[in-house]
Structure 1
Amino acid sequence: MSRTIKEIYNEAVRERNRRLELTEFASDSKLSVMNGVLWVVATVIYSFETLLDVFTVDISEAINNRINGTPNYYANVLLKYQQGDELIVREDGLAFGYAQVDESKQIITQVSYVENTDDSNIDSKLILKIATGAKGHLEAIPAVELLPINAYISKLKFAGTRIEVISTKGDVLVPRLTVFYDGAVPEAEMYDAIEERIREYIMGIDFDAAVYVSRLTDAIRAAEHITDVYIDDAAVPVQGVFIACHDTDGHIQPLQRIERMTYTASGYLKESSRKDEEAELPTFREAITLRLENYEI
């Protein structure tokens, strides 16, 4: 932190008075030539120290904002990937880049990361999950497109860094719940409202965020005319909130019940398409059991 002009001036005066060869110039008058020179010099020194303070702050911010080689760096790099374009070396020869930025070719819209360690490797592996599409309507990037994406990240990664980029189909959400309503509207309208609330819940979840059973049931309960959301332990099939993940080969895995919360394998949720390997998984409407509230009990 820079000193004040007064502090610099007083220090200069003390230093002057210590030197015998300058004692004849000693004076308490602020109008003396020597004190005037000292004040001007103090002002110049103060200006220089202030510039150094500004420079130090700027350098610190630049260093702190530098994320080269960190997980965030690779996540940001993937968001800038341009499908079909070739990386070229910059004119200064210090990095790769695209000849022209084209946002229409930037197909990766969501990225998250996790560091994975195993006993066979001392260094951890950085696993980057990616997806394309708008939030709430995310999709996996086809395997054929993952090849150039991995080649792209290999050119940009730092030597010795172990990185794997994956993109899998969304985890299928199966909310097997009993929902009670007041009977003020038709059953079909209630199912529509419940589906809308579930989709809004999915839309509100950040990519690769935790999935909570209580937040899903709260979202459904917030629909108009719904009186309760209940997990019936005696129901067949067994009720609860379930998800079915896809592996990296695109094959569906068995349904897993969420006890309280979990994380998705793909980073996002979706409804069963009722096609191919998802043919046996119910849609939101099919999974929900709707019951009329009996106020006489």
Structure 2
Amino acid sequence: MARQIELIQKEILDRVASDETLSALNSTSKVAIYRLYAHVISFSIWALEVVFDNHKKEIDTAIYEQKSGTPRWYRNMSLAFQYGFDLIADSDQFDNTGFNDDAIEASKIIKYCSVKESTESNRLIIKVASEESDFLTPLDNTQIASFTEYLNEIKYAGVKIAVVNNPADKLLLNMIIYRDVLVLDENGSSILNGGKPVEAEIKSYMKSLPFDGELVINDLIEKLRSVSGVINAHIVTATSSYYDVLTSQYTEFTPINIKTIPIAGYFEIVNFDSVSYVV
């Protein structure tokens, strides 16, 4: 770990003070030439130690993430998938010969990925999603077929993989917002700035959730209570519905008790028709 500049400088000055041949360098002025030299050298040593620390951290991270066969490795490999590109023979790397960085980056269509080991069956569950106009979207049939073939090429022998590429789980919130009449009107619009800050905060919270992360009802309520003009917030019911790949339809809405993880890895808010504003 990099030492503080002051500590390095003190060590240098202590060595100077203990050296009889340098006894003439005894000024206590902060702008004494030898003290300024000591400070410059101390800063240089500190900067070099910081570089060494960062290098070690990068190496440790690379070693940790490149342990083949771990869930983290499968996640990194999924995010590295390049749609339309072929693999180098006998390799898990893509052949990028003749392509520039923009083309390579554009081919990486998987923007979100989560890999977990199933507790019910001996397999890895890989959830993926792409992104379009700042919204999470599933891969289309051609893309998911290509990605699945890629996984079959790189996976370890005997490893069973289940890919989840569902449309967003639907979220329906039945809420009562107790408003400050000086700040919000009866429709939840900001009197001063326009727009609907409660709806904006809900969208912001959903956007901040990690992919395949938990939606915690109390966390959402806490966020809403911090909105200007909101005195209190009460979620009467929160229900969700997921896309059933067997029936190709969404399931019936079911209650969310305390928290939940979306099957698709992410949510889509149905609408805000069930949000009412009261005094």
Return the TM-score normalized by structure 1: 0.64
- Aligned residue number for residue 126 of structure 2: 128
- Aligned residue number for residue 251 of structure 1: 249
- Aligned residue number for residue 142 of structure 1: 140
- Could you say what secondary structure the match of 1:174 adopts? strand
Whole-angstrom CA distance in 1 between matches of 2:269 and 2:63: 44
Could you give the per-residue CA deviations for residues 179-237 of structure 1, whole angstroms, max 9, x where no partner exists?
Answer: 11011232341571111010010111101111111111112222111111124xxxxxx
Task: Tell whether 2:85 aligns with 1:85.
Answer: yes
Contact 1:136 / 1:202 at 8 angstroms: preserved in 2? no
Amino acid at match of 1:260: I
- Aligned residue number for residue 260 of structure 2: 262
The structure-2 alpha-carbon separation of the partners of 1:164 and 1:172, relative to structure 1 and needing over 3 Å to count, comes to same
The structure-2 alpha-carbon separation of the partners of 1:135 and 1:176, relative to structure 1 and needing over 3 Å to count, comes to farther
- Aligned residue number for residue 114 of structure 1: 116
- Aligned residue number for residue 186 of structure 1: 185
The structure-2 alpha-carbon separation of the partners of 1:218 and 1:135, relative to structure 1 and needing over 3 Å to count, comes to farther
- Could you say what secondary structure the match of 1:176 adopts? strand
Task: Tell whether 2:94 aligns with 1:98.
Answer: yes
Superposition map of 1:110-259 within 5 A: 110-118=112-120, 124-133=122-131, 137-184=135-182, 185-188=184-187, 189-190=189-190, 192-231=196-235, 239-248=236-245, 250-259=248-257
Whole-angstrom CA distance in 1 between matches of 2:160 and 2:87: 21
Contact 2:186 / 2:278 at 8 angstroms: preserved in 1? no
Could you give the per-residue CA deviations for residues 88-137 of structure 1, whole angstroms, max 9, x where no partner exists?
Answer: 22xxx5x232121601110100100221254xx7xx11010000117972
Contact 1:87 / 1:96 at 8 angstroms: preserved in 2? yes
Contact 2:65 / 2:72 at 8 angstroms: preserved in 1? no
Give the total of aligned pairs. Answer: 208
The structure-2 alpha-carbon separation of the partners of 1:136 and 1:253, relative to structure 1 and needing over 3 Å to count, comes to farther
The percent identity for this pair of structures is 23
Contact 2:74 / 2:115 at 8 angstroms: preserved in 1? no
Q: Which runs of 4+ in 1 moved over 6 A?
A: none
Deviation of the 1:241 alpha carbon: 1.5
Return the TM-score normalized by structure 2: 0.68
- Aligned residue number for residue 274 of structure 2: 287
Whole-angstrom CA distance in 1 between matches of 2:94 and 2:73: 17
Could you give the per-residue CA deviations for residues 12-69 of structure 1, whole angstroms, max 9, x where no partner exists?
Answer: xxxxxxxxxxxxxxxxxxxxxxxxxxxxxxxxxxxxxxxxxxxxx9xx9586554101
Deviation of the 1:163 alpha carbon: 0.9
Whole-angstrom CA distance in 1 between matches of 2:88 and 2:151: 13
Whole-angstrom CA distance in 1 between matches of 2:216 and 2:256: 8
Amino acid at match of 1:186: D
Contact 1:242 / 1:258 at 8 angstroms: preserved in 2? yes
Could you give the per-residue CA deviations for residues 267-293 of structure 1, whole angstroms, max 9, x where no partner exists?
Answer: 111122xxxxxxxxxx12x0201112x
- Could you say what secondary structure the match of 1:200 adopts? helix
The structure-2 alpha-carbon separation of the partners of 1:68 and 1:131, relative to structure 1 and needing over 3 Å to count, comes to same
- Could you say what secondary structure the match of 1:160 adopts? coil
Whole-angstrom CA distance in 2 between matches of 1:133 and 1:230: 32
Structure 2: 5+ residue runs without aligned partners?
1-55
- Aligned residue number for residue 24 of structure 1: none
Worse-superposed segment, 148-157 or 180-189: 180-189
Contact 1:150 / 1:164 at 8 angstroms: preserved in 2? no
- Could you say what secondary structure the match of 1:97 adopts? coil
Whole-angstrom CA distance in 1 between matches of 2:174 and 2:65: 46
Amino acid at match of 1:156: I
Whole-angstrom CA distance in 1 between matches of 2:211 and 2:132: 11
- Could you say what secondary structure the match of 1:151 adopts? helix
- Could you say what secondary structure the match of 1:98 adopts? coil
- Could you say what secondary structure the match of 2:75 adopts? helix
Structure number with greater Rg is: 1
Superposition map of 1:56-71 within 5 A: 64=64, 66-71=66-71
Whole-angstrom CA distance in 1 between matches of 2:132 and 2:221: 24
Structure 1: 5+ residue runs without aligned partners?
1-56, 232-238, 273-282, 293-297
